[in-house]
Chain A
């Protein structure tokens, strides 16, 4: 099998964030400021990424605006020839900073949305005033004509607001709306009872997105990540392990996906110690689940093996206790009964319990 070059890189510039969303995709072991790579180190990683074939760079966090050198980082990414996307909550951005980011070559903003009103959004984000600050910066983005995607992270607590979420995205001039139902890794796993949607919500979100996609064609495009516990077949996670994308976390550790550190028997290497190219092509972690040779049955003989690539390795780790197993979401998985049992617990679960918000390590 020939390994293709990566197309996209997610750069977790920092784990610092004013919000503390209970489904944060950062690792449970949040890194501190002292361990973050410097401006020059990141700039070097961006150049290595472009040389390796990366076309799309997602500057994320934590909150990337927590980095005082964000404008310099965007300049470096732009000069490396990368399409530069800023993934932000909006908190920490100002009109002046937006001007500087635009001038530095930022191509696009993906703004997260925790809820459609201050009470809901600030409860989920764990940050009072966050929603109003986000709306102010959203207006500034719109006024400048910066291409905008709204990323609505959806779950049991806010799915009933989906219609209003879609309306808001149109009002804010978003070209794309991601209806991203929470995936259960890391922090989200600690809050699964409060976040896992009901079956009714799952059916509703599929219907609503399909109808809105038709109604708003040519106005706003949709990206939809359905709640996969209810699916018959797993998602094609990352388009296949080590196939299209990679993720660099604040200290320079390079991961095949943001949750990969949940697989305890893999060792992930740092770009401060080995080149990005060598890590992508030659490291044991990136090769662990590449292609189809690693697959157990039922995947190995399944006609869908190059459709969904056996699903999500981290979800197999979480639900089956083995990252090399078929994703238990799949109806053909010998562990599928574990997902069925989880869903039966949902209705009985205490969805009103307090969240376990993300907190710094130590």
Chain B
């Protein structure tokens, strides 16, 4: 089912002010720091957000990851869409 917060291929996602990736130097790994929250990211989350730079479109992020992981774009698109849509719902992601 379509969600109004789903990204279109041409949409350019970015982290809003006050949301950023940071290394967790005590526990290891990477966390997404946001207002009053810290979200632990798995490797896939880090890979996705590593491509969210305020310039790349959603389509660019998907095709880049598909290349990196040598995986079908449709599969990647579903996973990236789900992750980024959930971040938009929490206002941890906006469109440039």
Contacts and interface: CB of A to CB of B under 8 A. Distances in A.
Interface of A: 5, 7-8, 51-53, 55-56, 58, 81, 83, 85, 107-108, 110, 145-147, 149, 175-176, 217-221, 223
A218 B36 CA distance: 17
Interface stretch (B25-33, B43-51, B63-71): B25-33
Nearest to B91: A175
Contacts of A83: 22, 33, 38
A219 B94 CA distance: 10
Contacts of B31: 55
A85 B88 CA distance: 21
B5 to A, nearest CB: 5
Contacts of A175: 16, 18, 35, 91
B27 to A, nearest CB: 6
Bin chain B's interface residue count. Answer: 20 to 34
Nearest to B93: A218
B94 to A, nearest CB: 9
Given A56-B33, A58-B36, A221-B91, A108 B26 contact: no
A217 B89 contact: yes
Given A55-B24, A107-B18, A218 B35 contact: no
B27 A147 contact: no
Interface of B: 4-5, 16-19, 22, 24-27, 31, 33, 35-38, 88-91
B26 A218 contact: no
Nearest to A149: B35
A147 B33 contact: no
A217 B25 CA distance: 33
B38 A55 contact: yes
Nearest to A4: B27
14 contacts: A5-B27, A7-B38, A8-B38, A55-B22, A56-B33, A56-B36, A81-B25, A146-B18, A147-B35, A149-B36, A218-B89, A218-B91, A221-B91, A223-B36
A219 B4 CA distance: 12
B5 A147 contact: no
The residue among B16, B36, B37 with the most chain A CB atoms within 10 A of its own CB is: B36
Given A51-B26, A221-B89, 15 more contacts: A7-B38, A52-B26, A53-B27, A81-B25, A83-B22, A83-B33, A145-B17, A147-B16, A147-B19, A149-B36, A175-B91, A176-B91, A218-B4, A218-B89, A218-B91
A57 to B, nearest CB: 10
A51 B24 CA distance: 10
Given A55-B22, A145-B17, A147-B18, A176 B35 contact: yes
Nearest to A176: B35
A83 B38 CA distance: 9
A292 to B, nearest CB: 22
Contacts of A145: 17
Nearest to B85: A218
Contacts of A149: 35-36
Contact of A218 (B5, B17, B25): B5
Most buried by B among A52, A58, A85, A175: A175
B26 A53 contact: yes
The 3 closest A-B pairs by CB, nearest first: A147-B18, A53-B26, A55-B38
B36 A176 contact: yes
A62 to B, nearest CB: 19
Nearest to B4: A218
A165 to B, nearest CB: 18
A84 to B, nearest CB: 10
Contacts of B37: 56
A85 B36 contact: yes
B17 A85 contact: no
A154 B4 CA distance: 31
A219 B5 CA distance: 10
A51 B35 CA distance: 21
Given A52-B26, A55-B24, A218-B4, A85 B91 contact: no
A272 to B, nearest CB: 23
